[in-house]
Structure 1
Amino acid sequence: MTLIFAHRGYSHLYPENTMKAFIEAERVGADGLELDVQLTKDGEIVVIHDEKVDRTTNGKGFIKDFTFKDLRKLDASYNKKTFLHKEPIPALNEVLEWMTTNQVICNIELKNGVIPYKGLEEKVIALIQSYGLTERVILSSFNHYSLVYCYRLAPEIETAPLFSEGLYMPWVYAQSIGAKSMHPKYTVAPNELIRASLDYGISVRPYTVNKEKDMQRLFTAECSALITDDPAKALRIRK
């Protein structure tokens, strides 16, 4: 069965990358979550997609220039105008703590392609291990050097390269960097690529799949999972 991962949580209806979006994704029945991590000025792992806070909060500036305490004062539900409650930017440990109360799988994307956060891999891995969640976490990144480093640090945690352009025989590439899966943009994941990868023992979880016809194709192709902003819609279609 193709699993359903909620992209930045249930971001179709709730503020992306917030505890509210994660809790609601699990409540509607998503099998997993996808979220993004970066480091604050004082080395705290926070869950947010952009390198700057401008788009998703009422603040301005780079995450790397904020202390965790100051970052927590911002409202991460800022651009969901219909949302009445303030939502803080979560720390990764809050999400992992909550995961100990349920069974969701979590795809943590390391956002270290633009800003090479020093120590991000070590910190994230240490936290996953401290909660005993190595079996329920997948580490992904567009920075494949970072994934190789993660694999060397903790070969027991699954890694998945992200890519948005067509790769030739990506299952061979994935295997060459120690990855057990890959997360291609859905437009560069034709059915034959999915089938060949699965035959090779490499899981395929395309992102970000929001249209019904694309979901139907991927369910029919029996890809390992799909990553979507609207898990409730994907669940309806999967049924």
Structure 2
Amino acid sequence: MKRPLILAHRGFSEQYPENSPLAFQMTVDRTEADGFESDVHMTRDGVPVIIHDDTVDRTTNGTGFVRDHTYQELLELDIGVWKSPAFAGQHIWTLDQLLDFCRETDRLLNLELKNDFFFYEGLEQRVIDAVTSRQMQEQVFVSSFNHLSMQRFKTLCPEIRTGLLYDKPLLHMDRYLDGSNADCIHPRYRLLQNLPELTDLFHERGMEIHTWTVNEEADMRDMIARGADGIITNRPDRLCRVAEGLCC
């Protein structure tokens, strides 16, 4: 069986604070993962930052929407202490910092543009500029639940791969894909289990399949057997072990 890309979901998020510098570093230090899946929002002053939620309430000691804070205000928040007092002192990264880390450690980055609740004006171009200025077009691919954003992104920059995130069945999926210029599809893994014909459909269209968020060993084995091209997991150490045992 083919070994899929192994992408640590928000870094090594099972054991460390998600999207923190420590979670990314520990992925590199403790696993053989190929890279990361992470998330980008934009601050009030237009800085792309690495955080999952639309608000800072869950994963910081602050409150409010990301877009209502300046970058300097976000930098003052602690993004580690919510996980455990042992992780106090972790601070939010910018997109630039994460890209530099991926380049230094030779890791791939699947970047989710979090613009399906708020439509961040200009986010696509800011991401493109950050990636292309570092000549990382082959090292980064993007995805979003906002498929209009992915259509726009691919039109603006054909060199960077795009992916369509989705988590519920769609009617006439083959027709839906006719209108898309995306390179990849990013379904929740249970969609592939409940609708196994999707795997053939996507691959016949020449699309890579990157599925999420696969944490149990049985599901990891199942996704590998089904031919997923990439698997996103909170447990990259476990997935690396499973893949090593199954794949040549």
Q: Pick the TM interval, shorter chain.
A: over 0.9
Task: Give the superposition deviation at 1:121.
Answer: 0.7
C-alpha separation in 2, matches of 1:106 and 1:19: 14
The equivalent residue for 1:177 is 180
CA–CA distance in structure 1, aligned partners of residues 48 and 22 of structure 2: 18
Aligned residue pairs total 239
Does the CA-based 8 Å contact 1:160-1:174 persist in structure 2? no
Q: Does 1:146 align with 2:112?
A: no
Query: Deviations 1:121-150 (Å, cap 9, x if unpaired)?
Result: 111110010111111111100000100110
- TM-superposed CA distance for 1:170, in Å, is 4.0
Matching of residues 46-57 of structure 1 within 5 Å: 46-57=49-60
| Residue ranges of structure 1 left out of the alignment (5+ in a row) | none
The one-letter amino acid of 1:179's match is A
When normalised by structure 2's length, the TM-score is 0.92
- Compute the displacement of 1:174 (Å): 4.0
Aligned match for 1:73, one of 72, 76, 83: 76
Divergent runs of 4+, >2 A: 82-85, 167-176
For the 8 Å contact 1:148–1:177, the answer to whether it is kept is yes
1:128 to 119, 127, 131: 131
List runs of 5+ in structure 2 lacking aligned partners: none
Deviates more, 1:34-43 or 1:165-174: 165-174
Contact 1:216 / 1:237 at 8 angstroms: preserved in 2?
yes
Q: Identity of counterpart residues, as a percentage?
A: 37
Q: 1:74 to 1:212 in 2, by over 3 A?
A: same
Instruction: Return the TM-score normalized by structure 1.
Output: 0.95
| Alignment equivalent of 2:225, drawn from 213, 216, 220 | 220
What root-mean-square deviation, in Å, do the aligned CA atoms of Structure 1 and Structure 2 show?
1.5
8 Å contact 1:34–1:109 — kept in the other structure?
Answer: yes
Counterpart CA distance in 1 for 2:23 and 2:72 is: 22
Provide closer, same or farther for how the CA distance between residues 147 and 13 of structure 1 changes in structure 2, counting only shifts above 3 A: same
Is 1:99 the counterpart of 2:72? The answer is no
Code of the residue aligned with 2:52 in structure 1: it is H
Could you say if the C-alpha distance between residues 7 and 84 of structure 1 is closer, same or farther in structure 2, counting changes exceeding 3 Å? closer
Aligned partner of 1:238 in structure 2 is: 243
Cα offsets for 1:7-39 (capped at 9, x unmatched): 111100111011211121123111121000001
SS at 1:182 equivalent: strand
Deviates more, 1:146-155 or 1:172-181: 172-181
What residue in structure 1 maps to residue 11 of structure 2?
A: 9
